[in-house]
Structure 1
Amino acid sequence: MEEFLIIGSIRLPIKWIFIGGALVVAYLAMNIRLSRLNLDKKPLLDTIFNALLYGFIVWKLSYVLFNPVHAFAYPLGILYFDGGQKGMLLGILMGFIYIYFQSTKQSVGIVTYVNLTFSGWLAGSATYFIYLFHTNYIYYSGQIFLAGWLIVVMLKNKEIDLGKGLSNSLLIYSLGQIFLGYLTHIKPVILGFTNLQIGFILLALLILIVQKRKRGEKNR
């Protein structure tokens, strides 16, 4: 049963309070990261939050795409339902496409946006996982510790370098997610791995390939 914070006649879902808190913490983390990198804050933060907004809209409206019969029969259902995991993937894709075009337009390297987005994700997710902590103590303890440790490391790092600090943090995070995936109750789909674990395995392999290529270029 969903819990509410009751203020007079207003009922606020505790879940949405934590989501709002997570967004604020993510914003602060990205702000601190930008301050350490001496970059113009406004256009970069605007781009990231616009991408988040567009991704959210796509995720919600994807309910119509994946459930057209129910959506047209009960239009108000769009307010209460979403496109699930498939819709979330579409929303994430939309967000990345928007960031890519904006980075090209602003002449800002995509790595800068990856760095900021990852910093915000670590801080925001650690905050939201506090709300979910009671549902799986061991799993979310691991998530909060991993995110908290990496965000401290990233905020101390003053470089935006895909070949070093950022890629190492992404690699550690990916490996951590693969391990923590065994602490969930999600059913495996291939070779004992869940869909999420498979995604992080592919990401880890991609990072290792990029790192190897970078080392090869330096040795020439």
Structure 2
Amino acid sequence: MQEVLQVGPILLRIQWLIIVLSAFVGYFVIKHRLQRAGYADQRMIETIENSLYIAVAVWKFSLILFDPLTVITNPLALLYFSGGEHGIWLAAAVVCSIIYFRAQKENVSIWAYGDLLATGFLAAIVVYDWMDWVLNKQWVWVDGSEMIISLLILLVFFRKSKKIGEPYQLTQALLWFSLGQVFVQFLNPLKRNDWLGFSQEQILYLILAVLCLCLDWFAEKKRLHLSKLTNKN
């Protein structure tokens, strides 16, 4: 696959274009979910818009933090490189922090923001994997499997959860996505076996799946407790 696209004197990496396009598709899916749920308040979408811009900026310019020597010796490196995977994690942490504080300030449930971000993330994954599958024939099974899993979860999410911010629907989507990622990693020929045949990434997804199960268990236990109190009264 061609790695760069030349536009005049500027060289653009194809992967960056795919990531940006996937992010904007995810954004429009979020707007569609808000409209479908009948939300007229624009504060949530404005917060997500600002977070998206900040995420792209943090990811792009995190190279200054992770590789300052390269930036000092060649400032133009900022045009052609980014913070890579570390930059993505940093951008995700910054966005989560911003959204948490905005949710507190706006008195909006953090589950509502989690719902919208999960929807946008799944849509972005579908687009990214589809484009990578078309342009890069080396990862057909990996991209194809991840794309199908994300698309199915997204369709179920839209079909079963018309209201925004339902904790059970969100944890179920995250649970199945995590288990799907564990499966997809077995198809990756570059997978490293760190423990009992599982890679480090698979172990993290398994931990996330267990956390989702625990959240569902505690939520169900709380619901039953409240139900008993209501029946007594």
Q: Pick the TM interval, shorter chain.
A: 0.7 to 0.9
1:188 to 188, 193, 201: 193
Runs of 5+ consecutive residues of structure 2 not aligned to the other structure: 226-233
Q: Which amino acid aligns with 2:183?
A: F
- Which of residues 169, 178, 184 in structure 1 aligns to 2:182? 178
Alpha-carbon offset, residue 30 of structure 1: 1.1
**Aligned residue in 1 for 2:89:** 89
* 1:4–1:85 Cα change, 3 Å: closer
The within-5 A match list for 1:136-215 is 136-156=139-159, 157-184=161-188, 185-215=190-220
Q: Which amino acid aligns with 2:163?
A: E
- Counterpart for residue 103 of structure 1: 103
Pair 1:194–1:82, CA change in 2 (3 A): farther
Report the count of equivalent residues. 220
In the alignment, the residues of structure 2 paired with residue 20 and residue 94 of structure 1 have an alpha-carbon distance, to the nearest angstrom, of 18
Question: Is contact 1:23-1:124 (8 Å) kept?
Answer: yes
Contact 2:26-2:120 within 8 A present in 1 as well = yes
1:39 to 1:20, Cα distance in 2 relative to 1, 3 A: same
Letter in 2 for 1:204: A
Shift of 1:97: 0.5
Using the alignment, how far apart are the partners of 1:71 and 1:140 within structure 2?
33
Q: Normalization by structure 2: what TM-score?
A: 0.83
TM-score, normalized by length of structure 1?
0.87
Contact 2:116 2:164 in 1 (8 A): no
- Match for 1:173: what amino acid? F
Counterparts of 2:164 and 2:201, CA distance in 1:
27
Give the partner amino acid of 1:193. F
Q: CA deviation at 1:41?
A: 5.3
Distance 1:33-1:190 versus aligned 2 partners, 3 A rule: same
Give the unaligned 5+ runs of structure 1. none
Partner letter of residue 203 of structure 1?
L
For residue 35 of structure 1, what is the amino acid of its counterpart? Answer: Q
Q: Give, as a single letter, the amino acid of the residue that structure 2 aligns with 1:167.
A: T
Structure 2 matches for 1:123-142, cutoff 5 A? 123-133=123-133, 134-142=137-145
Please report how far the alpha carbon of residue 142 of structure 1 lies from its aligned counterpart in structure 2 after TM superposition. 0.9
Q: Secondary structure at the match of 2:108?
A: coil
The answer to whether the 8 Å contact 1:61/1:83 transfers is: yes
Using a 3 Å threshold, how does the CA distance of structure 1 residues 160 and 131 change in structure 2: closer, same or farther?
A: same
Paired with 1:121 and 1:203, the residues of 2 have a C-alpha distance of 16
Identity %: 30
Equivalent residues of 1:26, 1:124 under 8 A apart: yes
Q: Distance in 2 between matches of 1:71 and 1:7?
A: 23
